Amino acid sequence: MADHPVDEKLPALKMATTGLQHVAAMYAGVVAPPLIVGAAIGLTGTELTFLTGACLFTAGLATFLQTLGIWKIGARLPFVNGVTFAGVAPMTAIVASTDDKDDALPIIFGAVIVAGLLGFLAAPFFSKAVRFFPPVVTGTVITLIGVSLLPVAFGWAQGASPAADDFGSATNLGLAAATLVMVLLLRRFTRGFVKQIAVLLGLVGGTLLAVPFGVTDFSPVAEADIVGFPTPFHFGAPQFQLAAIISLCVVMVVSMTESTADMLALGEIVDRPADERTIAAGLRADTLGSALSPLFNGFMCSAFAQNIGLVAMTRIRSRYVVATGGGFLVLMGLCPMAASLIAVVPRPVLGGAGVVLFGSVAASGIQTLVRAGLEKDNNVLIVAVSLAVGIIPISAPEFYHSFPETARIVLDSGISTGCVVAVLLNLVFNHLGNGGREAADVTHPMEAGEEISGSAKAPATP
């Protein structure tokens, strides 16, 4: 009996090239979170290179866990794992609330470890409770992830530091715009592999364009070693603060929700539907990978949805192809010089590419909401209020200024607050009491409700 396409081992050359394609599709997404968090902390170029390499290394390890699996860990599907975007906003909030920035990463790592271990224990139960996280919740949260990160892209587009003389200059904004145009043109007029790596090609083109303007700094590459290893706890032993742990536990719930949705989608694409046991095993890989990641100075790991699209497009369903991609990620993490290349990219160039990258995340959330049944009044209210609450930290950053600092770590993350509100409202409107009843269809969120039974209608105006 022939192996299922998911378990097929392709020829070495095809395995390597298709594995590299998966790396190319998700590379920019892996390095963006350490860049954002590292910049918020104020890491040097060398430290930023180290943090980026560590995230590549741990993404490779997490991908091994997910694709190859051990015991009851790993969905054993062509599933790429890497640093989740969902944790970026809460982590930057933790950085902002930490007086001594040297403690920021240890606090983040401690929170990730606890969240990962709790998630690992909760995985089999979470796979049963997935009905409480329908598209109306996951779509809202994914949309908030993208919307919350867009201000980061706009900040990058203006320059490296608000204190710099050229911050927001025409040169910086022009480089950001040129990079954005490059990415759009590549996406519009190319196909196949080139189209998949349009963001990376845009970053390369923007960086080269920036050289004559003196914006590009090649010192991180010159200072980087060819071979290196992400020394355990390089930035200090993990610290455990309750508020930070709560914040990243919320992110873990979001991450597990996204991964569950991704597993269901990928199972359909590869003709191996993900059952409850597969989902539980996949969530164990996600959460264990996250718990181990801080040991090597990495962040929380989750599935990368863009790679699911790549599987659907190429129809190459082998999990060993993705495992090969994980091997490339590990090798890149062990070569600081390779990891340092991303540190060369000027912030305005990253800003231009970030508009596409982060905007695509928001668009993915909107696609999920399209399937969420927004013709139902209950779901419209859930999305409306959750998005409004989630956008508060973006539109009114000082809204929670009178709250304690520990509470603000959670409240200042629109993703965390939006997720909590979406889950609670979904329970209230769609599960508790009479909420399970079919909600009335509406054509507009502000449409008037039905009149009270027995009341007389007003006479028609002539």
Looking at the domain assignment, is residue 143 inside a domain? Answer: yes
Residue 450 falls inside a structural domain: no
Q: Is the pTM of this model over 0.75?
A: no
Averaged pLDDT of the chain: 82
For residue 443, being part of any structural domain is answered with no
What pLDDT does 323 receive? Answer: 92
Amino acid 324: pLDDT: 92
Q: pLDDT by residue (tens digit) across 242-299?
A: 888 988 998 888 788 778 877 877 887 788 878 888 899 999 999 999 999 999 999 9
Does an H or E element contain 303, and which?
strand 301-303
| pLDDT score of 383 | 93
Question: Is 255 exposed, middle or buried (CB count within 10 Å of its CB: 0-12, 13-18, 19+)?
Answer: buried
Contact 81, 64 (CB under 8 A): no
* Domain membership flag for residue 457: no
Q: Which two tokens stand for residue 30?
A: 């892996």
The span from the CA of 406 to the CA of 247, in Å, is 10
- The answer to whether position 446 is within a domain reads no
| Other residues' Cβ atoms within 10 Å of the Cβ of residue 32 | 26
User: Tens digit of pLDDT for each residue in 88-147?
Assistant: 878 888 898 888 888 999 999 999 999 999 999 999 988 887 677 788 887 888 788 778
Which residue from 292, 286, 302 is spatially nearest to 238, judged by alpha carbons?
292
In DSSP terms, 301 is beta-bridged to: 83
Higher pLDDT: 160 or 394? It is 394
Pairing of strands 81-83, 301-303: antiparallel
Phi and psi dihedrals of 301, rounded to 5?
A: -110, 150
Residue 183 within any structural domain of the chain? yes
Task: State the residue range of the domain holding 160.
Answer: 5-436
Residue 2: pLDDT band with limits 50, 70, 90: low
- Establish if 11 belongs to a structural domain: yes
Q: Does 198 or 37 have the greater pLDDT score?
A: 37
pLDDT of 456 > 60? The answer is no
What is the tally of structural domains in the chain? 1
Tokens of 159: 């320059």
Question: What DSSP string runs through 17-56?
Answer: HHHHHHHHHHHHHHHHHHHHHHHHHT--HHHHHHHHHHHH
Higher pLDDT among residues 438 and 402, named by residue:
402
pLDDT of residue 180: 94
CA atoms within 13 A on the CB side of 279: 23
Q: What digits encode the pLDDT tens for the residues 330-388?
A: 988 888 777 666 667 888 988 888 888 778 778 878 887 888 878 888 889 999 999 99
